[in-house]
Amino acid sequence: MSYPIYKQAIYETTLNLVKVGLIRLSSGNISTRLPDGNIAITPSGILYDKMKPDDIVIMDLGGNKIEGKYKPSSEKALHNEIYKAHPDVNAVVHTHSIHAIAFSTVGIELPVVCLELVFVGGPIPVADYQTPGTVKVGIGAAKHFSEKPGLRGLLLQNHGLVAIGNDLNDAYQNAYNLETGAEIYHLALQTGKKPISLTDFQITQIFEQYKKPGKY
Ligand SMILES: [Zn+2]
């Protein structure tokens, strides 16, 4: 099949993540599932401000390169393990955004204190630490998404965040909401007061208001 349209979409999503500050230099990686079952993913070892659409790599679910002059992201296993465990997930965004990392280092679950965290299916868990780049990171993340079907993003201990979506834009928005929610929670904690969590009833009301069928 022809891949340029998907490469362009990954490229644009990456630039958007750089623009909103979730990606710095080449930290973080983005992928989408293709109609033929393969995966388009950002390349390894290239600064994103130098990246071109054609640098996006096509790989199979085993992480083997199908097309592209660079290697697939060093964190390809994180993406592939999620795709293998969740056939309904069509895009994955992983970032080393600072508020997500900060909370991941203290292992604090993010409570649902704002709409941003409601829409990501909070409370947001922290997956146990695993060496970045290993299959175990992906298995740990995929397990959390299986245990909590409404969850659309989570923290990876001492590492960052990972968000999933029906498509690239959905995964991008989930990553953005998760990082923004972490930033909001951080600011609220600076007051020295305990931030108020929304109740399950309030969350249900919010979904009804936004015409969403429950927690996704
Ligand atoms: Zn990472």
pLDDT digits over 73-90, tens only? 999 999 999 999 999 999
**Average pLDDT, integer, range 21-39:** 94
Q: How far is CA 54 from CA 5, 8, 57, 69, in A?
A: 10, 8, 8, 9
For the chain, the DSSP string reads: ---HHHHHHHHHHHHHHHHTTS--TT--EEEEE-TTS-EEEPBSS--TTT--GGGPEEE-TTS-EEE-SS-B-TTHHHHHHHHHH-TT--EEEEE--HHHHHHHHTTPPBP--SHHHHHTTSSBPEEPP--TTSHHHHHHHHHHHHH-TT--EEEETTTEEEEEESSHHHHHHHHHHHHHHHHHHHHHHTTSSPPPPPPHHHHHHHHHHTT--S--
193 CA → ligand 1 middle, Å: 32
Task: Quote the ligand 1 centre to 11 CA distance (angstroms).
Answer: 18
Q: Is residue 70 part of a domain?
A: yes
**pLDDT at residue 213 greater than cutoff 90:** no
CA distance 122 to 34: 28
Pair of tokens at residue 212: 């969403």
Looking up residue 131, the CATH number of its domain turns out to be: 3.40.225.10
Does the pLDDT value for residue 196 go beyond 60? Answer: yes
Q: Residue 80 C-alpha to ligand 1 middle, in angstroms?
A: 14
> Is residue 143 over pLDDT 90?
yes
Residue 108 reports pLDDT greater than 90: no
- 120 C-alpha to ligand 1 centroid (Å): 19
Active site residue 75: yes
- The pLDDT confidence band at residue 25, using thresholds 50, 70 and 90, is confident
Centroid of ligand 1 to alpha carbon of 13 (angstroms): 17
Q: Is residue 51 part of a domain?
A: yes
65 in Cβ contact with 125 (< 8 Å): no
> Over 50: is that where the pLDDT of 131 sits?
yes
The pLDDT score that the predictor gives to residue 94 is 98
In a domain, 56, yes or no: yes
- Residue-wise pLDDT for 150-175, tens only, equals 999 999 999 999 999 999 999 999 99
Q: Is the pLDDT of residue 60 over 60?
A: yes
214 falls within a domain: no
pLDDT for position 210: 86
Cα–ligand 1 centroid distance for 1 (angstroms) = 29
Active-site choice (12, 67, 75, 109):
75
Sign of CA dihedral 116, 198, 152, 88: negative
Q: Does residue 79 fall inside a structural domain? A: yes
Residue at 175 is within a domain = yes
The total of structural domains in the chain comes to: 1
Domain extent, residue 58, equals 4-209
**Is there a domain that residue 216 lies in?**
no
Residue 215 lies in a domain: no
pLDDT score recorded for residue 216: 46
Residue 49 binned pLDDT confidence (cut-offs 50, 70, 90): confident
> What gap in Å lies between CA 163 and CA 127, rounded to an integer?
13
